Amino acid sequence: MREIIFDTETTGLDSREDRIIEIGGLELVNRFPSGRTFHVYLNPQGRNVHPDAQAVHGISNADLADKPAFHEIVGEFLEFVADAKLVAHNATFDMGFVNAELTRIGELPIGPDRVIDTLAIARRKHPMGPNSLDALCKRYGVDNSRRSFHGALLDAELLADVYIELMGGKQAALGLETAKTRVAVVAGEAADETIAFVRERRPRLSDAEREAHDELVKRLGDNAIWKRIAG
């Protein structure tokens, strides 16, 4: 099972007018990072970065002047995504921008059946919140100390850890390992008890008692049952 954890940064909040300026994503295969990533900065093609947006992600118009436009990287992006599920936090926002960019250049939008929204999952799982990415990082012990600004690839990396925790991945694995350890311990205890049982019931005859027993067996003759057992 392939899933792409991704995030975008934009010039503003309106997908009809604003543009994507950064896309970051990483691939999970069966809920484990494969090591494949996608990261690109984009020229917004004449759309200026809103000051409020720049305060969040720290990306300026000057930073984007020499970057490619979306249509120049769309092939690489779609190849990376392929037929995987797309996982984002507040996915309605990110997918709104992605599909707006695709529509502008005549590409088909990505359907909602391929999208997983971790914000919706978090709200169901933790209805009392808060459920921002930072809050979920804190809840699940994910280190987000590098997040002085929002960044698409960094946020995707953090979200991957949060998503795995939301879906019970690491906890389930930990539980499995704990169960295996317990089975091993129980088996070890059982083995130790068996050994102790055998040791406890080993003969405790002194040499003199053993010699006396041997003499008794000799006097009983060749048909003595003890000789048949010993033989």
Show me where the domains of the chain are located.
2-167
pLDDT on residue 212: 72
Inter-helix orientation angle 152-166/169-200, to 10°: 50
Calpha distance 84→28 (Å, rounded): 9
What is the mean pLDDT of the segment spanning 178-204?
45
pLDDT on residue 228: 55
**What pTM does this model have?**
0.72
pLDDT on residue 214: 73
In the sheet where 20-29 sits, what is the strand order?
Answer: 32-41, 20-29, 2-10, 85-88, 115-117
pLDDT in tens, 197-206: 434 444 556 6
pLDDT on residue 229: 52
pLDDT on residue 184: 44
Q: b/e per residue, 187-225, with b = 16+ CB within 10 A? A: eeeeeeeeeeeeeeeeeeeeeeeeeeeeeeeeeeeeeee
For tokens 């997918």, the residue is 95
Report the percent of the chain where pLDDT is more than 70.
Answer: 77
Q: Does domain 2-167 have CATH number 3.30.420.10?
A: yes
CB atoms inside a 10 Å sphere around CB 59: 23
Return the active site residues. 150
What is the mean pLDDT of the segment spanning 71-100?
98
Residue 198 token pair: 């055998």
